[in-house]
Amino acid sequence: MKEAAQQRPSSHQGTMDMEIRKCRILNIENYLSSVPAHGQFRVVTDITDNPGPQLQKAGFAEDVEEGASILPALRGRVSRFNAEGKWRVFRDRPKEIRYIRTIFWRWRQWAGRDSYEEHEEFRDIYRECYPRELEPPPGIEITFMRVGDRLLVVSPVLINTDDGHELLKHAINLFLELFGYCTLVTTDIARYEPVTRTVNWRMLPPGQYPWERLHGHIEHLLARTSAGTALFIKDRTEALHSYGPDAIHVGAGGYSDYLAYEFHSRGLVVLESIRRDNALYVFGQEWEPFARLSKAEVLSNHHHLTRIVHLSGWKERLRALMNHREAA
C-alpha cells in the first residue's frame, strides 16, 4: 500500500510545507513533493505546547538554552543507529572467535579437612561468531531554538539528491521516533539557522571523584547493568582515576554511555565506553578538538591513538601508554 503524505499550511510561515504524523516513513519519495531536486530543507518539530518533557526525551538537559545542539538520546532503533551505527553480519563466512564481555566470577574452593577458600576474579568471555563490520552512525544532531513565539527543534540543512535519500529518510524517522511528528520546512529556511552550541558533554565540578561520587552521575547507566558488570565498571573507573585526571566529562544524549577523562600533562583524552565494545578510546589531543569530533569520527580508526579493549592485561597496556606520554 502506498504511503499517504499530508501537506498542510505550516504554522511557521503560512506556506505549504510537508507535515508528517506517524511512527516512521518507508518511501521517502512520497514526502519530497514539495522539495525540488537539489533543494534544501530542514526537519522541524514545534514543541511549544509541551517543551520540557519533549526536550528531555530527546536528551537535552533540564536547563537547556536556545541554540543548544545535541546528538539525540537513544530512544529506539533509529536513534540508536544514529548514535552508534549498526553491525553488518556476514553469515556466509566462517565463524571466528570473538571477545564478548568480562564478568565478575566468585567461587569457593575446597582447601582440605572441611575447609574452603573464597576466590574471585574477572573472566573474559569468548564465543564463536560470524564476522561483522560496523556501518558508521549518521550522527545527525538536533538543535533547540526559538522562532518568534514558537519553540522548535530543528535538523541541519538537508539537500534533496538521489544518492542522499537514505540519509533524508533517516533524518525524518529520527524526528518521528523522538517526537511523533515533524514538518519538512522548505521556505525561508534561513530563519531556522540558529547560533549553535554543542552540549554533548557535561563537565563535572572540579575535585576528586572516587567511585561513590561518580556513581551518582552515572547511576542511570548502571541501573540497567548487573551487579557483576557494575563491579567491573567500578574497577575500570578506579584504574583511570589512579592516573589523576584533570577533568571528567559525562556524555549527554547519544553520548550518554561514555565518560571522558582529560589528562593535560599527557595531552590525552581517554574515552571510556561503559557498554559499547567494552573498550577505552585514547585520543592524543586536548579537550576542545576532541569535543568537536562527530560520533562517527570518534568511533572510526582515523582519530584515536589506540583502542584498548578490556581484556586481561588491559591495565598493563594502559599503564605503558600513560608512562610513555608522561615521559614524552
d(CA 142, CA 84): 16
| 12 pLDDT more than 50 | no
- If you average pLDDT over residues 199-214, what whole number do you get? 75
Contacts of 49-52 spanning 24+ positions with Cβ under 8 A: 51/151
Helix (H) or strand (E) holding 280: strand 279-283
Instruction: Please report, rounded to a whole number, the percentage of residues in the chain having pLDDT higher than 90.
Output: 41
pLDDT at 3: 56
- If you average pLDDT over residues 105-116, what whole number do you get? 82
pTM of the model: 0.81
d(CA 242, CA 79): 35
pLDDT digits (tens, 9 = 90+) for 150-181: 999 999 999 999 899 999 999 999 999 999 99
| 142 pLDDT more than 50 | yes
- If you average pLDDT over residues 136-140, what whole number do you get? 92
pLDDT at 175: 97
pLDDT digits (tens, 9 = 90+) for 68-78: 999 999 999 99
| 214 pLDDT more than 90 | no
CA torsion sign, 251 to 254 to 258 to 262? negative
pLDDT at 172: 97
| 11 pLDDT more than 80 | no
Which amino acid is located at 102 in the chain?
T
- If you average pLDDT over residues 114-120, what whole number do you get? 83
pLDDT at 1: 46
pLDDT digits (tens, 9 = 90+) for 266-306: 999 998 877 656 788 899 878 888 888 887 888 777 788 88
pLDDT at 16: 55
Q: Cell 504524523 appears where?
A: 21
pLDDT at 9: 44
- If you average pLDDT over residues 119-144, what whole number do you get? 91
- If you average pLDDT over residues 229-250, what whole number do you get? 85
| 97 pLDDT more than 90 | yes
pLDDT at 276: 56
d(CA 313, CA 316): 5
Smallest CA-to-CA distance from 73 within 157, 142, 24 is with: 142
pLDDT at 211: 66
| 15 pLDDT more than 50 | no
| 4 pLDDT more than 60 | no
d(CA 138, CA 171): 9
| 93 pLDDT more than 90 | yes
pLDDT at 310: 86
d(CA 292, CA 198): 8
Q: Cell 538543535 appears where?
A: 143
pLDDT at 163: 92
pLDDT at 255: 86
Range of lowest pLDDT (26-40, 170-184, 187-201):
187-201
pLDDT at 62: 85
